[in-house]
Structure 1
Amino acid sequence: MVNVAFLGPLGTYSHQAALQQFPDAGTVYTPVETIPQCFEELANDKSLDYAVVPLENSTNGQVVFTYDILRDLMNGCEKYNGNEALPELEIVAEQYVSIDLCLIASGAIDLTSFGKETDVKVYSHPQVWGQTTNYLKRLGQKVGSLRLIDSASTSGAVQMCCEEGNSVANEVSLAIASSTAANLHTAHILDGPINDKRGNTTRFLTLRRRKPKEPPLAARPSSPITKDQKVSILTFVVKQDSPGSLVDVLNVLKEHQINMCSISSRPYHYPKENENSIQQEDTESKKRKWQYIFFIEVNHDSSVDWTLVIAGISSNSLKFCFWGTFYRNIRYFETS
């Protein structure tokens, strides 16, 4: 039996990502309240096997909470091999979830019956309003009144809608959420997808406690196109803020003909001094603001001598961390 933590409650897109990666009967899905808690629970609760966290969105970019936690885990790492951090967690899979929003009701309702005598309340997470502006504008023009009510999550919005029901004539309670949330609460999907921008997708990572000798999880869904294609995620801090310091690291990839899929950065905070920290920073570097940690993703070619790659990155960075190597998901290649 596999126990998977994810950003709850049940019915969220994180829950959907967990279902896609772990569809087997008997899997236990454990919702937690925050992204940091996903990491903390996995590290400390041995009853958990994996955690699923959002990494980035095709429209809005980085999920900064996740990036910053990876940064802080590298900073606070107690185990090193030279200047390579060996945190207790590793990345072993990725999933992609389409952010398709639906209009949901507790029971079957005919949308064509809505008119100027109909008063409508819609529950959802505040972020949803900006993603369904055009649809809600058209709905508001059709009905007598339209109230948008914030909820803590889209799944919670469906629960509120179902609890309220639609027993009063000409007063309708609806929710905007995913089909997963509708199915969870045995609600009815009246229309969908209703989001203004189609193709919006969130990428999720699956982590486990570090097991260097065990392979990553199988790709879900499996595909002959990506069967043997792997990618690796690396974070690093350059030795100094000087011309070419970042290029020196990236040239290691070029020298070994390694394709870099992406690069991004987050503000870097030097860790407090302790006996486990790598103490190579000069005094001025510790005082200087506007330092950054870099995140890169590369294709993991099995023909490459990765011992030499690691040695090259090590000699050109202050500290670095390989977060894991995993199979590329077929949905990475979708064009819309």
Structure 2
Amino acid sequence: MESLEVLREKLDSIDDQIAALYEQRMNVCGQVGEYKVKAGRKVFDRQREKEKLADVASKVSGDFNKKGIQELYQQLMSMSRKLQYRQLVEAGALGRLPFIQINDLDKQNARVVFQGTEGAYGQAAMRQFFGENVNSFHVRTFREAMESIEEGAADYAVLPIENSTAGPVIEMYDLLDEFENYIVAETILPVVHTLSGLPGAKLTDIKRVYSKTEALMQTSRFLDEHSDWQRISVVNTAIAAKKVLEENDISQAAVCSSYAAKVHGLSVLVDGINDDDDNSTRFIVVTNQKVFLKDASKISIRFELPHQSGSLYGILSHFIYNDLNMTKIESRPIKGRPWEYCFFVDFEGNLEDPAVKNAIRGLREESQNLKILGNY
């Protein structure tokens, strides 16, 4: 048997040849890209690539090598497409994205809607972003808030999309998919939950606790210490506080903010009952206009993929190749198509960045029903 040093020298020699051939291949791919730009041809030809993978597999022996060379050529063809997408973008073939860049939001004259009632965390997030004197109103559900801006009753809605402890607000992803509304900003609100009840109530009086599902999850450690308490979910933490006040039952309490307790005349029985001391909620600011701020640095998109092995792996390569940092991914079932899913992705960038344009060009060709949810 040859020594390890000799075998490594052979590998180095082979790798030199592979590197040279790779460069030759990419040069030819560049010429193919130039032809497609002039002829108006699509970059991605799924059938052609399928045939190519079958062809290269037929030229090697053994299942291991067949699988390996197909994986290698999938990457080679992926790199070729990315080069050609860049050529198309540079030639202006991406077209204008249907979003208009603006310098600022008109916070002073805006009418803003939030979900819940007076004292809700949504109201606090709205005031944190728009200021204490914002012209606002509230609605009962997230859907009603989305309808308000779609119909023009409000310019913006401030809605929760993610909590650092409980995770995503799933309904918001479904609504962003359903409505033609777009994210223009975000604000992060620290969340401090209290257990609040009627004035004069004591912990020993409590039998039922009301709050939003996520708030009950975020305080489960404290609530588990009182296993005899019944936990009842309502639409909003502030609505829970309002319910306790209106029903005037000393055995009822709400998990809500101290602000909500004050607004609705409740007493804080226990403060700071969060499981996590660093609990916070990310709120998005949504409008019905396709606009983005000049200094926007995050993009949210939604897309579907063929229900086959490796499709998500392939699509994520567009972020890697263009040096774009993906910060979040969520999946949701597609209505009417059991066990098929759409994906929501957040990544860093601005719609004016060349790298973002390159990635979006590739995503459009290789995914299905791509929707840009906002740049903020």
Q: Place the TM-score, normalised by the shorter chain, in its bin.
A: 0.5 to 0.7
- What's the counterpart of residue 191 of structure 2? 99
Change (3 A) 1:119 1:267: closer
| Residues 95 and 204, structure 1, Cα contact 8 Å, conserved in 2 | yes
What CA distance in whole angstroms lies between the structure 2 residues aligned with 1:182 and 1:201?
19
Alignment of 1:201-240 (within 5 A): 201-212=280-291, 215=293, 230-238=297-305, 240=306
Q: Which shifted more, 201-210 or 157-166?
A: 157-166
What CA distance in whole angstroms lies between the structure 2 residues aligned with 1:313 and 1:231?
17
Q: Deviations over 1:16-55 (max 9, x none)?
A: 2222222241x122211222222112101x2311112221
- What's the counterpart of residue 78 of structure 1? none
| Residues 4 and 48, structure 1, Cα contact 8 Å, conserved in 2 | yes
Q: Which one of 322, 328, 334 corresponds to residue 262 of structure 1?
A: 328
- Partner SS for 1:264: strand
Give the letter aligned to residue 69 of structure 1.
Answer: L
What CA distance in whole angstroms lies between the structure 2 residues aligned with 1:162 and 1:299?
44
Alignment of 1:60-75 (within 5 A): 60-73=166-179
Q: Deviations over 1:90-112 (max 9, x none)?
A: 101112233321133454x597x
Q: Which one of 277, 290, 314 corresponds to residue 339 of structure 2?
A: 290
Q: Which shifted more, 299-308 or 247-256?
A: 299-308
- What's the counterpart of residue 210 of structure 2? 124
Question: What is the total number of aligned residue pairs between the two structures?
Answer: 265
Q: Which one of 135, 138, 151 corresponds to residue 28 of structure 1?
A: 135
1:4 aligns with 2:121: no
Alignment of 1:132-171 (within 5 A): 132-136=219-223, 148=230, 150=232, 152=234, 153-163=236-246
Q: Deviations over 1:72-131 (max 9, x none)?
A: 34xxxxxxxxxxxxx3x2101112233321133454x597xx8xxx64455422745555
Q: Deviations over 1:176-229 (max 9, x none)?
A: 3112212322444343102333323322211011243x527xxxxxxxxxxx57
CA drift of 1:249 comes to 2.2
TM-score (norm 2): 0.61
What CA distance in whole angstroms lies between the structure 2 residues aligned with 1:291 and 1:69?
18
| Residues 265 and 292, structure 1, Cα contact 8 Å, conserved in 2 | yes
Query: What RMSD, in angstroms, separates the aligned Cα atoms of the two structures?
Result: 3.1
- Partner SS for 1:197: coil
What CA distance in whole angstroms lies between the structure 1 residues aligned with 2:349 and 2:246?
49
Q: Which has the larger radius of gyration?
A: 2
Change (3 A) 1:138 1:123: closer
| Residues 315 and 366, structure 2, Cα contact 8 Å, conserved in 1 | yes
Change (3 A) 1:92 1:102: same
Q: Which runs of 5+ in 1 are unaligned?
A: 74-86, 141-145, 217-227, 271-287, 327-336
Give the letter aligned to residue 9 of structure 1.
Answer: T
TM-score (norm 1): 0.67
- What's the counterpart of residue 176 of structure 1? 255
1:15 aligns with 2:123: yes
Q: Which runs of 5+ in 2 are unaligned?
A: 1-108
Give the letter aligned to residue 373 of structure 2.
Answer: W
What CA distance in whole angstroms lies between the structure 2 residues aligned with 1:11 and 1:315?
46
| Residues 96 and 201, structure 1, Cα contact 8 Å, conserved in 2 | yes
CA drift of 1:136 comes to 5.0
More strand by share: 1
CA drift of 1:10 comes to 2.1
CA drift of 1:68 comes to 1.5
Identity %: 29
Give the letter aligned to residue 181 of structure 1.
Answer: A
What CA distance in whole angstroms lies between the structure 2 residues aligned with 1:292 and 1:120?
43
| Residues 237 and 318, structure 1, Cα contact 8 Å, conserved in 2 | yes
Change (3 A) 1:28 1:121: farther
